[in-house]
Amino acid sequence: MPFKFDVYDRSVYREPAPLDRDDPFRSMMERFDIAAEILELNPGFYEYLCRPTRTHITSIPVVMDTGHIKVFEGYRVIHNNVLGPSKGGIRYAPDVSMNEVKALAAWMTWKCAVVDVPFGGAKGGVVCNPREMSPGELERLTRRYTADLIDVFGPDKDIPAPDMNTNEQIMAWILDTYSMHSRRTENAVVTGKPVGLGGSKGRQEATGRGVMTVTLAAMDRLDLTPDDCTVAVQGFGNVGSIAAQLLQESGCTVVAVSDVTGGYYREDGLDIAAMRTYVQNHDGTLDGYDQAESLTNEELLTLDCDILVPAAKEDQIDAEIARNIDARIIVEGANGPTMPDADDILNEKGVLVIPDILANAGGVTVSYFEWVQDRQGYFWTEESVRDRLEQMMRTAFERVYETAEEHDVSLRIGAYVMGIRKVAEALRIRGIYA
């Protein structure tokens, strides 16, 4: 089909109103635009792939413990399912928005394509503050959200997983609600569930482990050895704390970590295992941990270290912070932590950025293993999960690296090129159903 750049219709995502600078959907699209031009993507494909195929908004009534009914807003966005059933987590947060979920769903599409798992991309969100809700309220919210989306979810259709503020227990409630409606136990409808319900060994640590694997792969490329590398990690949740621990076990010195309560620094290295235990015993945060010096968020991000792992949330590294970054490698454990206007600055400074859609893909990779195991009814050893995860992450890293070299672009644009190319090629072969 003939192709012309000038017919890309960017109004598709910029109108009726231009997107805010810190809108994650804009952050996704700015990179998508660059990759689309490199790929000479058919303008019709461009228009199709920058929109979600479906968006769902649901009002979720919940009887609170007081007896009052409160109504929460929930989202599920299917960005694309050309490569297979759509896949992606559900986040519970007071500030989650439709545009954020749309961006996160698109990132799932590219992420699955980059690591070569046969899924499309999706994401869900519920506007709520789980810290202020009782377990009973959270259960009722989760079950009603699942019931509202019962026709959307399914092991062959759309498969949720944990994301920010959701966990194994919430996945178990989704499994149970879905199974009650289908009149049979459907454990492949959700991943990241407890091992006793058909979850996979190694799923919980998978994102952090994937972060470690690509970090070591990047060190190999730059001729760095873990023993000589210092690390700072922003975020001490499921991704950041495990990445910190595994990097430390690999020989790196983790000098700083942070969570919502602030940053913690120790020049000779923090005791990450002790900090993880502390968090478990202190309501999920590092508040009051006194075996370290304190640090602001900005000081952590601009610390003199070799490896920086932003593993908290979106939009943490703007142009200003990027100018002051001292690390040689940035490994994006979170989705969308770097704003588009920081990309060029980091590139010019020669910082190697391992982008989110590659760096944090370990989670969805083991979700894929979990789905495969559920469908086979045959469960793997933890060692086998780890080996396969490492192999897939290493392969993806090398392929992204080569694609970036081939087009003389950053690893981020290399990863977008790889992901979009794969989906566009599948779309071309499938054709447009009429």
Part of the chain binding ligand GLU (CB under 6 A), chosen from 223-231, 272-280, 323-331, 358-366: 358-366
| Nearest approach, Cβ of residue 160 and ligand GLU (Å) | 7
Backbone torsions φ then ψ of 60, nearest 5 degrees: -110, 105
For 112, which DSSP code? H
Does 360 contact ligand GLU by CB under 6 A? yes
> Could you give phi then psi for residue 357, rounded to 5 degrees?
-70, -10
Could you give the CA distance from residue 342 to residue 321 in angstroms, rounded to a whole number? 8
**Given the complex with ligand GLU, which of 146 and 360 has the nearer CB atom?**
360
**Angle between helices 238-249 and 206-221 in degrees, nearest 10:** 50
Token output for 317? 């590294």
Rounded CA separation 90/70 (Å): 20
- Name residue 42's amino acid: N
**From the CB of 161, what's the least distance to ligand GLU, in Å?**
3
**Is residue 335 part of the contact set for ligand GLU (CB under 6 A)?**
yes
Nearest Cα residue to 75 out of 142, 125, 129: 125
Q: Does 355 bind ligand GLU (CB under 6 A)?
A: no
Maximum Cα interatomic distance, the chain, rounded to a whole number of Å: 64
Phi and psi at 131, nearest 5°, equal -65, -25
Q: Is 87 in the site for ligand GLU (CB under 6 A)?
A: yes
DSSP H/E element including 122: strand 120-127
Q: What are phi and psi of 156, to 5 degrees?
A: -105, 5
Does residue 215 interact with ligand GLU by CB under 6 A? no
Per CB under 6 A, 88 contacts ligand GLU: yes
User: 338 Cβ partners below 8 Å, 6+ apart?
Assistant: 310, 316, 317, 322, 330, 332, 346, 353
Cα separations in angstroms, 392 against 191, 214, 275, 388: 18, 10, 30, 6
Nearer to ligand GLU among residue 166 and residue 403 (C-beta): 166
Residue nearest to ligand GLU (CB): 89
Distance CA 180, CA 310 (A): 39
Task: Provide the 8-state DSSP code for 227.
Answer: G
- Report yes or no: 340 and 368 within 8 Å, Cβ to Cβ: no
Q: Does 89 bind ligand GLU (CB under 6 A)?
A: yes
- Binding region for ligand GLU (CB under 6 A) out of 50-58, 128-136, 315-323, 356-364: 356-364
Per-residue contact flags (x/-) with ligand GLU for residues 147 to 186, judged by CB under 6 A: --------------x-x-----------------------
The correct pick among 99, 142, 191, 316 for binding ligand GLU (CB under 6 A) is: 191
Binder of ligand GLU out of 310, 363, 414, 419 (CB under 6 A): 363
Interacting span for ligand GLU (CB under 6 A) from 61-69, 131-139, 357-365, 377-385? 357-365
For the bound state, the minimum distance from the C-beta of residue 61 to ligand GLU, rounded and expressed in Å, comes to: 26
Total binding residues toward ligand GLU, as defined by CB under 6 A:
12
Active-site residue, 123 included: yes
Would you say 89 or 226 has its CB closer to ligand GLU?
89
423 burial level (CB within 10 Å; 0-12, 13-18, 19+):
buried
Active site residue: 87, 123, 201, 313, which one? Answer: 123
Instruction: Say whether residue 310 binds ligand GLU (CB under 6 A).
Output: no
Tell me whether residue 89 or residue 237 sits nearer to ligand GLU (CB atom).
89
Beta carbon of residue 335, minimum distance to ligand GLU (angstroms, whole number): 6
Per the DSSP assignment, residues forming a β-bridge with 127 are: 93
364 binds ligand GLU (CB under 6 A): yes
β-pairing, 262-265 vs 253-259, is antiparallel
- Closest approach, Cβ 227 to ligand GLU, in A, equals 30
Instruction: Determine whether 95 is exposed, middle or buried from the number of CB atoms within 10 Å of its CB (0-12, 13-18, 19+).
Output: exposed
- Cβ closest to ligand GLU, residue 193 vs residue 328: 193
Q: How far is the CB of 117 from ligand GLU (least distance, A)?
A: 9
Residue 24 found at the interface with ligand GLU (CB under 6 A): no
The site map against ligand GLU for 373-412 (x = CB under 6 A) is ----------------------------------------
Burial of 367 (0-12, 13-18, 19+ CB in 10 A): buried
Which of these segments, 40-48, 85-93, 170-178, 274-282, binds ligand GLU (CB under 6 A)? Answer: 85-93
**Distance of closest approach, residue 122 Cβ to ligand GLU, in angstroms:** 8
Residues engaged in binding ligand GLU (CB under 6 A) = 87-89, 161, 163, 191-192, 335, 360, 363-364, 367
- Tell me which residues are annotated as active site: 123
